[in-house]
Amino acid sequence: MLPSRQPSLRPVDVVVALHLVLRPEDGYETVAELLGIGLGSGHRSVKRLMAARLVLPHRRAVNRQILLDFLIYGVPHAFYAVVGAEAQGVPTAHAGPLLSEHIESAGVIVWPSVEGRSRGESLVPLYEGAAGLVSRAPELYGLLTLVDALRVGRARERRLARELLEARLREGPAQ
């Protein structure tokens, strides 16, 4: 049956795809628990990723090259950055752990959170529970900060984020 409206990816799907790059063996329960989403939400997310051909249906493996292209060229437009007032929060984009060691910047961008120890311009995260990933899934947190650099960064920050994402997507578990 044809759907009545155009199906589309949701921001949390980017997070699920990145998690599957890092830990492809994880089941729906593990993904849902780690991300703090419902089991059904995790399953629907993987189904949307399969429909978008970001995940291969027969193996539930991430199509890394297509994901990388989507992260670089699609995410900044489909899930554009919404920057707000100064807030306390968790560093992201160029202030996150992977880019801050390469780029010195006067400004800090944060996901608003009472758990965060930094102050800076606030950025709406791709999904509500992103700030909690700092302690629960530090590697996933790092990848999300690179995606945020693609969404909100300047040319140099975007270029470096792209290079780091390319390297990390190539070095993970085999497709």
Which among 132, 131, 124 is positioned nearest to 85, based on CA atoms?
A: 124
User: Cβ-count burial of 87 within 10 angstroms (0-12 exposed, 13-18 middle, 19+ buried)?
Assistant: middle
Looking from the CA of 45 toward its CB, the CA atoms found within 13 Å total 25
Instruction: Kindly give the residue spans of alpha helices, DSSP state H, lying in 52-137.
Output: 64-69, 75-78, 133-136
What's the maximum distance between 2 C-alpha atoms anywhere in the chain?
A: 53
Query: Can you read off the two tokens belonging to residue 99?
Result: 């880019």
Taking CA atoms, 52 is separated from 5, 45, 63, in Å, by 15, 11, 10
Q: What is the pLDDT of residue 175?
A: 44
Q: What is the pLDDT of residue 85?
A: 97
Q: With beta carbons less than 8 A apart as the criterion, state whether 140 and 30 touch.
A: no
User: Cβ-count burial of 78 within 10 angstroms (0-12 exposed, 13-18 middle, 19+ buried)?
Assistant: middle
Which among 14, 6, 26 is positioned nearest to 147, based on CA atoms?
A: 14
User: Cβ-count burial of 3 within 10 angstroms (0-12 exposed, 13-18 middle, 19+ buried)?
Assistant: exposed
Q: Which residues pair with 90 in a beta bridge?
A: 111
pLDDT beneath 70: ranges in the chain: 172-175
DSSP class of residue 172 equals: S
Handedness of CA 154, 158, 160, 164 (dihedral sign): positive
